[in-house]
Structure 1
């Protein structure tokens, strides 16, 4: 929770982590971001940078002293048609549609020991696509977890500094008290 004080008024910001779900198909990836009620299309901003990181941010006022905001980052697939990414916001769910170029094909197949044919095995190709999808999903989930843990580490670090400063001040005040009192 962040606090912003403007002109004597205190305003609280709740950072939220919206639920998201990926639907991956051969020719398209769809990211569904379930957002809290109160958010409207005008409150959302979607960008993609030159490195292929898609950033979705948004926020809105809950009441006069409280707002919510969020930021979601994800790396798009290498075979994504970046100029054709589209977003639709409907009933609290943001759908980000990312069309792909033709499926990534694996390199030439390597003959296994005892194999007599040089033809490609469709089962192997499917396994290779599954491995690529799993690693992509792992990166997406790990990236989100890494952000949350980093935020948690910063908050814990600041709390630790506050505790240490309070302890040092307490020791200094105790020392001053005992030195000033007659024995």
Structure 2
């Protein structure tokens, strides 16, 4: 885009798309924008609107007739604590940290004798839970639930893989037995 500055030289703006990387966890989202050399924090602007759209813009001069600029928009998580969003600019990388409120995960119910063993083991692992503060205890509890869910999913996946292997072996056996020698 070219802009003529009232009788002066034509000024060009080059739109860039900076490299962007997201890191998401249950309690925080971090967006990293890798910005070009020459970009300073004075050149950056970060806003969030009422609809939860985070807008990051920046522009800086390259020389007398050329500038670079960018705009990055993203929707923040619904459980983001908007008043606690922070930004840090270091060595050409803008880090925007968006903390989230913790949403407790649903409880997984086990059935049969195995559940008593699993629940007892989980309770034993949480033996120090009473000593923890309520916030730490809730984090320990949600971690325990995630680990058990992961264990169940991995177990089901293993059963599916074994079943597929058995079916494949049976089909291969049938194929070789049916083929003429």
TM category (shorter chain) comes to: 0.5 to 0.7
Shift, 1:104, TM fit: 5.6
Can you list the C-alpha shifts for 1:24-78, whole angstroms capped at 9, x where unaligned? 1121111000000111000000000001000000000000000000000000001
- TM-score, structure 1 normalization: 0.59
Q: CA deviation at 1:92?
A: 0.3
TM-score (norm 2): 0.59
Please list the CA deviations of residues 94-143 of structure 1 after superposition, one character each: whole Å capped at 9, or x if unmatched. Answer: 0000011013635x87x9xxx957x988428x98xxxxxxxxxxxxxxxx
How many residue pairs match? The answer is 121
What is the alpha-carbon distance in structure 2 between the residues aligned to residue 47 and residue 54 of structure 1? 6
- Return 5+ residue gaps in structure 1 as ranges: 128-183
Q: 1:123 aligns with which of 149, 153, 171?
A: 149
Distance 1:104 1:52, change over 3 A: farther
How far does the alpha carbon of each residue in 1:128-183 deviate from its partner, in whole angstroms, 9 at most, with x for none? xxxxxxxxxxxxxxxxxxxxxxxxxxxxxxxxxxxxxxxxxxxxxxxxxxxxxxxx
RMSD: 2.7
SS in 2 for 1:89: strand
3-state DSSP class of the match of 1:78?
A: coil
Max Rg structure:
2
Q: Which runs of 4+ in 1 moved over 4 A?
A: 119-122
Partner of 2:87: helix, strand, or coil? strand
Number of the residue aligned with 1:24: 24
Residue in 1 that maps onto 2:101: 101
Write the mapping of 1:15-54 to structure 2, written as runs, cut at 5 A.
Answer: 15-54=15-54
Cα gap change, 1:66 to 1:104, in 2 (>3 Å): farther
